[in-house]
Structure 1
Amino acid sequence: MSLLTRLYLLVAFAAAPAFGLVLYNDWQLRQAAEARIEADALRYARLVSSELDRIFSGVRSTLGAAAKAPVLQELREAECARYLSALANDHPYLSRLGVIRADGQGACGLQVRVDPATSPSLRAALGTSNSYLGEYTVGRGSAAPILPFAERIEDAGGRPVGVIASGLRLDWLGDYFAEKAKEFPPATSLTIVDRNGTILVRLPNRDRVGTSLTHYPQLRAQSGGTLKSEAANTADSVARILGFTAINEVPEGVGVAVGLSQEVVLAPIREATRRNLLLMAVTAALAMGAAWLGGRAFLQRPISALMSVAERLQAGDFSARTSVAGAGSELARLGSTFNTMASELASREQEREDAAKALRESEERLLIAQSAARIGVWDWDFASDRITWSRQMYELFGLDAGKDAADPYGAWLRILHPEDREGADHTTRGWKDQPGPFADEFRIIQPDDRVRWILVRGQTMPDEAGIPRRMVGANLDITEIKDQELREIFLLTLVDRIRDIGKPGELLQTVAELLGAQLKGSCVGYSEINEGEAWATVLAAWRRDGLQGDRQRYPTSSFGNAFAELKAGRTFVVDDARADERVACARAAYEAVVAIASITVPLVRDGRFRGFLFVHQDMPRRWTASERELCEEVAERTWGALERVRGDARRRLLINELNHRVKNTLATVQSIAAQAFRSSGRQEDARETFEARLFALSKTHDVLTRENWDGGDLQEIVTEAVAPFGSWDRTRFMVQGPPVRLTPSVALSLAMTLHELSTNAVKYGALSALDGKVTIIWGVGEDPEGSRLRLTWHESGGPTVSTPLRKGFGSRLIERSLTREHGGEVQVSYPASGLVCEIAITLPKEVAAPGVTEAPVPEDVHLITG
């Protein structure tokens, strides 16, 4: 605390009693003013109550005089109606005047009916000789709020014959007291309520008329008094002191409350207090000014000079000297001492700087080496239980030195991988009791959710008695080394597992299961893209929940921007599909397969997008570069193994198919020979027919074996496939359909299918009989999946057909070539009249425009036009 501050405090202590006296006087004046306000508010309330009593007395007198009029006592309808009308004109503050008989029937022109049993007010008015005062209500005729009054009408014998009723208009009463309230102090409030607490008059805020009291239930009490209202409970936000009368005071049945604003009454007192405080503040300011001038000249300047020198010395400027020196005052002698001390400090500081420079150079070399090698150093002092980390430790773990320095061990435990936390904690604490070197490995999860492998090496050092006193260790990031090690182990395991697998589906399922367990994904699998790149078919899939999802098909159009990336041969990685704008248009597809995060590795061969490996995660996940590289390597290795397995399977299939084709060909040649030599009379004609059929059969085999075919017309495929099986009368086959251009693979599969159906027809079906016929009809339509070719093979005129007990190789061949390879549908039925085969294939490309085909038609194939 400076000297000037002390002088200021002395002045303040001297002025404090005067300020206290002013504040105490203000408190006393407020107390007296509040007592006066309470008395005035109660007095105003009783004045308003008296005025109300006068108004109510006038209403009672008017109704009482009318009740004694003979025209009302005798209830002469026409005369009493005119009487009431004139009376209403003379008293505009009253609502409609009316008469109700003792039985509840209206009289004197009043067309109402009141049941005395259900009308307490009517019973009360008939049962008393005094005027009846009701509660707040809304008049039936005027629809205006009123305060009801009623007077009993008696006949000449003193028996009640009815009541005369009216109501005091509350709008008139409000206007009346609004005028009166101008004589009250500013901001005065007036509230009049009935015995139920309903507001009859409210100034200000007249819109509250007809509502119930929400605050201060004391206004309905049986005795008057005062209370304070808070600003928050008033509509105009003005705090007041209320004086109120009781409900049972005159006039009975209503309560009156008048509120006087505390702010208005206390304003003069506050003004006087402000003036006194301002005067005291000016006096204190003058005293402060005098203290400042004296203290600055004799104390502050020399002391500030000394302080400036001290601060420069503290900041390391040992050349600082003070001019306040000599043998004069105490401050001058203090200045000489400061100069001597500065000279000694300058000498010592130079020695310290030389030593510190050498130490800094050594530490800098160590820090550079630690940062380059990602090594963090730590020290645990057992006596103080204090752990100190180097800056590289915080960077290595991704922690904040400012927040986590208070408890570095707890921060380390929090970022440990859950599977390593308990073991690492137990091992580390065990080192405290075993002097000597130690080493361990553990995983951490950084704030960005990346998992890192850490190698720790160090030593526990004992004191002179051999008791461990501290641990010093170094942490090294070995994630890349560990990932490479784990990846190599996984790949070796993968190769070992799939080496002897001979089935493609089993191979892919095994890889998906192993990769899913390695990456802890929710779904892993392989999909194949069809030749037209319109569909992706899941060949095999492993799911964490155990469900299988193979053979499902998805349109490639649902992949969004990912399809172009995959087709270009680039791996597509998504950390969070809900926030990744690249997949915004395909977000529904990702949600459908529960793929919040995913890695998709494309498989492009010979410039064609063949398929892809996918890894799905059902929650956001930040994939590492190592995980992506592992997926790419697994995809490449697996696809190579798959090609090998498929090649082996294809070779086995071709051998089986060759055997099947040879048998079918021999059966076909036998049928051709039988028909040729049975139907011709001349040997030369039979030989020519037989050779022509064999030539047609060879053309069909050309269709089946053209590997480099660029596609073909469907009608050409049909005519060439069925040409060897025609009859002499050229009516064996009926063919109808528009021109359709087929891709090579679809054309080959369909030709094989037609050849298989024709061979079966020759051996067992319609073509085995002389009168047998086959009708082939096709068409192209549109469905949600694209262009759809539908072809029907219908046999008739042959032997009776029945459903076979088992499928032969030919049936399985048709199913494999059309259903599995092209996503088609084949339905074979066996009605007694002849076999029917219905084929549906989704075309990968647009069909050719309808037109006239130019393909040659064999003589014995009848082409249906139209």
Structure 2
Amino acid sequence: ASWELDLATMIGKWSPNRFDLLGLVRRRDLCGTVEDWLDRIVVEDREEARVAAYRCFDHGEPYTIEYRIRRGDTGEERWLQSHGSRIDYDDGRPSRFVGISFDITKRKRAEERLRDSEVRFRTIFEQANDYILTSDLQQRITSANPAVQAALGYSEADVLGHSFADFLDPDQFEQATTMLRRKLTSGGTTRHTIRVRTRDGRQLVWEVSSRLIEDAAGRPTGLHAICRDVTEAKRAETHLRLLIDELNHRVKNTLAIVQGIAQQSFKAGTDLKVAQRAFEGRLAALSEAHNLLTREHWGLVSMTQIIGDAIAPHAGAGRFSLDGPDLAVMPKTAISLALAIHELATNAVKHGALSRAGGHVAIRWDRVRGEGPARLSLVWEESGGPLVATPKSRGFGTRMIERGLAAELAGSVTIDFRPEGVVCT
């Protein structure tokens, strides 16, 4: 929409669509004034437009301004862009003003949406806990959000312009390069995990999802990546795998122990009820040892606790005395020790000191230091029971103690059937 103005008379003509642009009724003579125009401009923008127009009228300075109007018919706010110039004549004719205006509402609203989008993106970029990176196709970093800088321990200046290779081991950089080639060849998004070096030398594991950045013509110009720290998750995954492997190992060992107990408890010629009671007692001892180990998360366990749990079913008042330091014992050793103590206690109840009211068992242990590594010394000594005679044959319990426990402790185990009471050392 255009308009002209005779600067001598300040009388002007408007194009018909200028009336339409401002939401005014078209006048038959098509005349319009500067004030008619200024009246339609919103108050906040009016003075700037007035100054620009009169500077052009008075001093010949052309202008290009953008401002808001409120249409005369609907009251709708619209954006206009106006250009104005003064035309001077050498032949003495009065100067004239020529102006033209365009409706730029769509463009301004698009710019506003773009600004809002940029603000939202910048807010996400700055505040996101995830790591957001961009790079060129040579894998030089062009932007990195604060989360990246905090994770790596570098400032923005230390990161921007640097290659991915400055933060990755060679094999990891090769992996990143392979992913970039895959996107350049096939497009799409790639996802992978990668190890990243921090400033203080720590290794972090990042899960990376990245895609190409393209220009208006669809040509790749760079890389956009969103990363997440999965270091703890990977450690937990590795730990879980180890736990499962360990569980499988322990289950196999436990089944082997149970199988051995069953075979010895129910061997040919053994009374079934007696065998059943022996089997149940041995399983109970094994169960108690497992309960203790579970409470301690299958770590080192208390020797005092192991022995105490094993003798608990038979520990009446004054029947046992325990003397020794509370040593830490490995899980596998704990199971063998618990089963051995259970067998000694069972035999003492059936045939030894615990078969009589006044019988007593003293259990002593200590760490013995010599020229080599420290060794465990443990003594089970019975007293107050019936006279003891050396058995003609060794039962399962005796064999397990003398052979199994000795093998587990990498030492020697001796059972001495003294007349006054059994002594196991």
Give the alignment's TM-score, normalised by structure 1. Answer: 0.22
Instruction: Say which structure is richer in helix.
Output: 1
Which has more radius of gyration? Answer: 1
Structure with the bigger percentage of strand: 2
